[in-house]
């Protein structure tokens, strides 16, 4: 922080401004300044002083929060000899401030917990805290708060205490866990019916259950368990207490997931939860939705915990099927939010039964799934007074989509055909209200694709009846019937006699604003599945495409229709494709020309993205089968369109979004005709390089990778593509070498290394012999620590493929040159690369990136194992062996074991397992 340590008065004024300044700019300035203070060394002393002064809630909250943040992220700033003083100071503050505000107590409790976890010299912290405060009833609330957050912080990602210290702490907490439970029990006894204390006790107990350190035999006979269920059985229990007790029971059920090793507690919880059915009915009668949701959470957690037992021994002991009855009782509740809680359990049950695939077992569970489906169909009904189409973006619309997914996952237990027929018969035999009809059609649409379409009279009858629905039926029924028709496209494909009536029905929908997008999606589905049959209707599709904007379509639906049209276009005879493609593109091209001819308004040209996206989808899905030697039918059309795309790109070169859409369009055009786009190569590359010097949009790098992929094997194109790479690299390196350049431009990193990887794959010697390769490798080494999924994946893939070039395809004539060039590159950068990779996976990268790191290390080892052994040893020597709190991060034995595991690995996955285990020591 510039200007030295600020005065307390200045800090106090900044805190006041943060909370009370009426001017948002003043608040923002205060926030930035206080953020800088929190990052500085002065924050420790200033926070301590503010807490001593106890001037007001705001300044104390800021100080407590700062203290917690500093301990979490900057504990290394303090010398070890100050740790004891910091602990004593924090304990004094929490005692002095215990009545000021609960949020301040929580922040200080977190600070104390985080300190205890990092401070190796503070042995048996739980014991010392209980010894110090358990006889003082006024200290009990903050003591329980510390004991609540302590287990929660053990797996905190911001602490990075490492696996060795974490194991030590968990063992320590397990040792003292019974002492904590005894303290909580005596707390409940001493405080009588103090609701706030009960809530604190239940939260604390839940936290210890979540960490999995409680002795389950001790808990099975503990008084607290009885208290929990008494609270949940009592009708007069308040909402907050009910929620805390429910959370605690759910945590306990989760903790005994391995039922067989926790039998006594499992039995107590199982019997306890079954006693709550009456209390559930009472909550329903009182219309207390909060309590109903809590009970449903408990019942669902019970079913999740005993899932394997239920499937293994249904109806026996703790496989008692009353657990499923409880969930079905909840499914009968009129509010859909209640049944939704149990969805994950039903998914898992379906998954288990599908894997086991035992007919006798399926028969036991089938009636439960049938009842569930019956409830779900009822929950999917719209309100009788609902107008218009079903909304799919509100909460209820999202619920229906989740129902659709769940039905698809469990339908195999009931039988798709049987269910489909039953649903259809409810529409045929009785004359239900519109909302029942719509819900039944909705469920039918969910399962239509899983019904076998071969010789199926029910399916054809349904299709026949649906397309005869009169226009007078409710709009929502028509909407869902259109969706059903779209899902039945395979039936249409097998029964082409229905194609005309189906298309007529969908065309009616397309002309009505509320139904247009659904009808367009259904036509797209029919085009995708019935491509050959639809060829005769291509002219009709072309007419729709020409008049696309006269229909009230969403952007997605319009693009979908064009996709369907392009798929059918690709099935036409080759000689017709060029002309038809030209017609299909003409609307979009003339719209782009019109936009280019218009004068900009307020210095901005009109947005061409709609037309670019439509062209892109046409190029992407027009993929006719072209024999060798034949000219690609789309080549001429794309050459004609290029000048318009080029001019659009020039006009909007400063706008990243539009340039991205232009590049996407060009990418699919190049992919569409492959080598047939050769005449565009020179002008396209020239324009890309020229614009990129001024506006380094990363999509140019991506487009470059497509060009290298298509032309990199062509001898005559290699030098030109290398020149392109070098010209694009210069501005890219300038951008990435700025402060935080890699972190601020992950898309550029991603696309640069996609381009470099394509070069390695298509023309490795060209790249490896060039001067630019050194800079690309240096950039890659720096970027290995970048915590961004796509960018990191691209970097790792580049390095892996680069090194692999030195060992692969050893029969090819350029192998020796490749091997030598990779050898030189590794000699120059190998040690640095291995050191950086080890540092990155220990300190910078999330666990999901580790398989990629493992693949790179494996490739280096395959290329030159003896040298790699030496590099890895040097890299490991450079890792820190202790934390700033004095705990051992990694022992000498752990280092040597890891080195041995990696260097003696016989396949890549062994390297991956070793890294996974090793990096836990630093997390």
The C-alpha atoms of residue 521 and residue 218 are separated, in whole angstroms, by: 60
pLDDT tens, position by position, 885-923: 888 999 999 999 999 999 999 999 999 999 999 999 998
Residue 259 has pLDDT above 90, yes or no: no
pLDDT confidence bin for 747, thresholds 50/70/90: very high
Task: Give me the phi and psi of 906, to 5 degrees please.
Answer: -105, -10
The C-alpha atoms of residue 701 and residue 691 are separated, in whole angstroms, by: 12
Q: What is the pLDDT of residue 393?
A: 86
Cβ(91)–Cβ(112) below 8 Å: yes
Provide the angle, in degrees to the nearest 10, between the axes of the packed helices 416-429 and 434-447. Answer: 160
Residue 845 has pLDDT above 90, yes or no: yes
Q: What is the pLDDT of residue 3?
A: 66
Residue 576 has pLDDT above 80, yes or no: yes
Q: What is the pLDDT of residue 584?
A: 93
Residue 1 has pLDDT above 70, yes or no: no
Within 13 Å of residue 357, how many CA atoms lie on the same side as its CB? Answer: 1
Provide the angle, in degrees to the nearest 10, between the axes of the packed helices 678-694 and 635-651. Answer: 10
> Angle at Cα 839 formed by Cα 833 and Cα 845, nearest 5°?
105
When pLDDT is averaged across residues 608-623 and rounded to a whole number, the result is: 95
Residues facing residue 888 across a β-bridge: 882
The enclosing H or E element of 38 equals helix 24-39
Q: Token digits for 917?
A: 């285990």
Q: What is the pLDDT of residue 368?
A: 97
Q: What is the pLDDT of residue 164?
A: 94
Cβ(18)–Cβ(30) below 8 Å: yes
pLDDT tens, position by position, 286-305: 999 999 999 999 999 999 99
The C-alpha atoms of residue 654 and residue 642 are separated, in whole angstroms, by: 20
The C-alpha atoms of residue 229 and residue 315 are separated, in whole angstroms, by: 24
Cβ(751)–Cβ(803) below 8 Å: no
Q: What is the pLDDT of residue 65?
A: 96
Dmax (CA) of the chain: 93
Instruction: Please report, for residues 247, 250, 285, 296, 323, the alpha-carbon distance to residue 291 in angstroms, rounded to integers and kept in the order given.
Output: 12, 14, 11, 9, 18
Cβ(456)–Cβ(494) below 8 Å: no
Q: What is the pLDDT of residue 886?
A: 85
Residue 92 has pLDDT above 90, yes or no: yes
The C-alpha atoms of residue 835 and residue 248 are separated, in whole angstroms, by: 46
Residue 135 has pLDDT above 90, yes or no: no
Task: Give me the phi and psi of 888, to 5 degrees please.
Answer: -75, 120
Residue 2 has pLDDT above 70, yes or no: no
When pLDDT is averaged across residues 714-726 and rounded to a whole number, the result is: 93
Within a 10 A sphere around the Cβ of 668, how many other Cβ atoms?
19
Residue 193 has pLDDT above 90, yes or no: no
The C-alpha atoms of residue 515 and residue 479 are separated, in whole angstroms, by: 6
Radius of gyration, CA atoms only, the chain: 34
Residues facing residue 882 across a β-bridge: 888
pLDDT tens, position by position, 18-37: 999 899 999 999 999 999 99
When pLDDT is averaged across residues 495-500 and rounded to a whole number, the result is: 93
Within a 10 A sphere around the Cβ of 14, how many other Cβ atoms?
21
Within a 10 A sphere around the Cβ of 733, how many other Cβ atoms?
16
Provide the angle, in degrees to the nearest 10, between the axes of the packed helices 538-546 and 516-529. Answer: 150
């Amino acid at each position: 922080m510039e200007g030295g340590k600020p005065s307390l008065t200045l800090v106090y004024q900044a805190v006041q401004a943060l909370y009370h300044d009426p001017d948002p700019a003043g608040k923002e300035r205060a926030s930035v300044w206080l953020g800088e203070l929190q990052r500085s060394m002065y924050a420790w002393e200033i926070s301590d002083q503010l807490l001593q002064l106890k001037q007001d809630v705001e300044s104390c909250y800021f100080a407590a929060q700062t203290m917690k943040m500093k301990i979490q992220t900057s504990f290394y700033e303090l010398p070890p000899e100050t740790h004891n003083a910091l602990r004593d100071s924090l304990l004094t503050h929490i005692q002095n401030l215990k009545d000021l505000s609960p949020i301040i107590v929580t922040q200080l409790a977190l600070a104390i917990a985080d300190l205890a976890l990092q401070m190796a010299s503070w042995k048996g912290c739980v014991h010392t805290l209980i010894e110090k405060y358990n006889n003082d009833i006024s200290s009990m609330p903050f003591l329980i708060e510390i004991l609540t957050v302590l287990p929660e912080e053990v797996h905190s990602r911001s602490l990075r205490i490492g696996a060795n210290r974490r194991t030590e702490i968990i063992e320590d907490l397990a040792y003292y866990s019974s002492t904590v439970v005894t303290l909580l029990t005596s707390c409940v006894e001493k405080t009588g019916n103090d609701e706030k204390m009960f809530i604190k006790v239940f939260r604390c107990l839940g936290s210890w259950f979540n960490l999995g350190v409680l002795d389950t035999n001790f808990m099975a006979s503990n008084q607290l368990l009885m208290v929990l269920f008494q609270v949940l059985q009592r009708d007069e229990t308040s909402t907050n207490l009910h929620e805390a007790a429910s959370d605690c029971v759910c945590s306990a059920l989760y903790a005994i997931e391995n039922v067989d090793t926790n039998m006594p507690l499992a039995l107590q919880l199982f019997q306890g939860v079954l006693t709550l059915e009456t209390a559930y009915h009472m909550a329903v009668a009182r219309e207390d939705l909060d309590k109903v949701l809590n009970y449903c959470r408990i019942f669902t957690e019970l079913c999740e915990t005993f899932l394997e037992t239920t499937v293994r021994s249904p109806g026996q002991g703790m496989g008692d099927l009353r657990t499923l009855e409880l969930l079905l009782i909840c499914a009968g509740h009129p509010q859909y939010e209640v049944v939704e809680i149990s969805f994950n359990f039903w998914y898992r049950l379906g998954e288990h039964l599908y894997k086991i695939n035992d007919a006798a077992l399926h028969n036991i569970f089938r009636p439960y799934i049938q009842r569930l489906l019956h409830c779900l169909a009822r929950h999917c009904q719209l309100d009788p007074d609902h107008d218009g189409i079903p909304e799919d973006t509100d909460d209820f619309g999202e619920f229906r989509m989740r129902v659709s997914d769940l039905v698809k996952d469990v339908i195999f237990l009931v039988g798709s055909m049987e269910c489909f027929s039953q649903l259809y018969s409810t529409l045929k035999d009785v004359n239900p209200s519109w909302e029942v009809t719509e819900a039944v059609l909705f469920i039918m649409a969910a399962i239509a694709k899983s019904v076998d379409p071969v010789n199926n009279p029910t399916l054809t009858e349904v299709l026949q009846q649906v397309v005869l629905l009169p226009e007078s039926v409710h709009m929502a029924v028509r909407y869902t019937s259109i969706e059903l028709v779209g899902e039945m496209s395979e039936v249409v494909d097998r029964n082409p006699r229905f194609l005309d009536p189906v298309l007529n029905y969908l065309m009616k929908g397309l002309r009505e604003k509320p139904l247009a997008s659904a009808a367009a999606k259904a036509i797209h589905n029919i085009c995708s599945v019935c491509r050959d049959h639809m060829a005769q209707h291509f002219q009709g599709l072309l007419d729709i495409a020409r008049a696309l904007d006269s229909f009230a379509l969403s952007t997605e639906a319009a693009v979908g229709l064009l996709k369907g049209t392009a798929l059918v276009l690709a099935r036409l005879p080759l000689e017709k494709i060029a002309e038809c493609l030209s017609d299909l593109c003409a609307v979009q091209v003339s719209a782009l020309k019109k936009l280019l001819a218009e004068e900009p308004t307020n210095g901005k040209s009109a947005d061409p993205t709609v037309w670019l996206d439509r062209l892109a989808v046409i190029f992407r899905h027009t993929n006719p089968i072209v024999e060798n030697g034949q000219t690609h039918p789309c080549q001429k059309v794309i050459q004609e369109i290029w000048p318009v795309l080029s001019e659009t790109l020039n006009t909007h070169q400063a706008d990243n979004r539009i340039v991205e859409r232009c590049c996407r369009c060009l990418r699919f055009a190049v992919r569409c005709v492959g080598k047939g786009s050769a005449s565009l190569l020179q002008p396209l590359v020239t324009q890309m390089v020229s614009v990129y010097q001024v506006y380094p949009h990363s999509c140019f790098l991506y487009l470059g990778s497509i060009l290298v992929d298509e032309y990199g094997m062509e001898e005559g194109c290699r030098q030109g593509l290398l020149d392109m790479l070098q010209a694009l690299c210069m501005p890219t390196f300038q951008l990435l070498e700025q402060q935080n350049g890699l972190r601020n431009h992950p898309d550029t990193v991603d696309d640069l290394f996609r381009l470099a990887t394509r070069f390695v794959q298509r023309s490795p010697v060209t790249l490896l012999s060039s001067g630019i390769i050194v800079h690309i490798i240096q950039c890659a080494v720096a970027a290995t620590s970048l915590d961004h999924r796509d960018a990191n994946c691209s970097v790792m893939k580049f390095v892996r493929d680069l090194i692999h070039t030195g060992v692969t395809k050893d029969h090819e004539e350029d192998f020796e040159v490749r091997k030598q060039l990779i050898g030189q590159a590794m000699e120059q950068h190998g040690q640095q690369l291995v050191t950086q990779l080890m540092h990155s996976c220990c300190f910078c990268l999330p666990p999901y990136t580790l398989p990629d790191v493992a693949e790179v290390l494996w490739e280096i080892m395959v290329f030159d194992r003896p040298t790699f052994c030496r590099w890895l040893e040097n890299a490991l020597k450079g890792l820190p062996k202790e934390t700033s709190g004095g705990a051992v991060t990694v022992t000498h034995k752990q280092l040597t074991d890891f080195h041995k595991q990696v260097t003696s690995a016989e396949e890549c996955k062994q390297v991956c397992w070793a890294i996974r285990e090793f990096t836990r020591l630093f997390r």
